[in-house]
Amino acid sequence: MCHADSPYYEFEHFEDIEPCLCCHNQEAPSEAQYYDQKARTRVHYGHLPHWQQHESTYFVTFRLNDSLPKKAINKLLRMRQEWIDRSINLAVMERPSVFYLRLFEQLDTYLESGHGRCFLKAPNIRGIFRSTLIYANRDYWDLHSWVIMPNHTHLLLTMKPDRDLPKALQLVKSYSARHINKELERKGRLWKKESFDHLVRTPSDFLKFQSYILNNPRHLQPGTFCVGLRK
């Protein structure tokens, strides 16, 4: 749980909740927009692929810059290269969407080990970041659920019309980094530049990701995380 006051946005449409062992909503919201095979898709690559469609719903993860040890990063890069090498043989090719979800599962296992300085564990730092997320909800996305872990965050959101996910994430990262660094009296990169983002395919996928978010912090001590759900 976390509670933070913000000069920018009233929180009447959101609530902080306890982690739960079920999907809080048994039906996906009508405003969620799922991947459309016939629609125009923009694709760009970093270490990860990023597929974008207009006004779509995404599961997004991003992390603090020091949240993975080099050994873990190298393991993830090896997994990716091995998948690329195997993909030369089309008969045994694992679909990209399946592989990158498997890669994400390994990534999140490393993140949950709590590597790094875990700045978001502190209530005042977590509050700054939560306020930034909800502020972005006014102009950039409709935020369905979120969890702020000690060194990373998961979001389930639908983009507003004519809004771009990479630009919105850049805004959230840069704004929150500026204010968090000021609070911590530090300089330097706070967030890892590249995020993991996945276009949600179906209502059942939406519920699966939402359940994952709401369950994610259940092993943590109270007061070290924030989990929230749109009312």
The domain spans of the chain are 14-67+119-230, 68-113
Q: Which fold has domain 14-67+119-230?
A: Alpha-Beta Plaits (3.30.70)
User: Which residues fall within 8 angstroms of residue 128, CB to CB, at 6 or more apart?
Assistant: 4, 176, 179, 180, 183
Tokens 């599961």 correspond to what residue? 59
> What pLDDT was estimated at residue 114?
82
pLDDT in tens, 7-49: 223 333 455 555 554 455 578 898 999 988 888 888 877 777 7
Which segments of the chain does DSSP mark as H helices, in order? 70-87, 96-111, 123-139, 165-184, 203-215
Dihedral sign from CA coordinates of 66, 67, 72, 75: negative
Mean pLDDT of 173-194: 95
**Cα–Cα distances in Å, from 197 out to 24, 31, 85, 116, 214?**
22, 19, 23, 22, 18
The rounded radius of gyration (Å) of the Cα atoms in the chain is: 17
Q: How many residues are given for the chain?
A: 231
- DSSP bridge partners of 145: 156, 229
Token pair 């659920």 is found at: 145
Residues with Cβ within 8 Å of 169's Cβ and at least 6 positions away in sequence, in order, are 60, 62, 195, 197
> What predicted TM-score, i.e. pTM, was given to this entire model?
0.83
Contact 204, 57 (CB under 8 A): no
Backbone angles phi, psi at 229, to 5 degrees: -145, 140
Question: Quick check: 178 pLDDT over 50?
Answer: yes
Residues 192, 81: Cα–Cα separation, whole Å: 21
The fraction of the chain above a pLDDT of 70, given in percent, is 85
Residue 49 CB-density burial (10 A; 0-12 exposed, 13-18 middle, 19+ buried): middle
Q: What is the pLDDT, as a whole number, of residue 93?
A: 58
Which carries the bigger pLDDT value, residue 138 or residue 24? 138
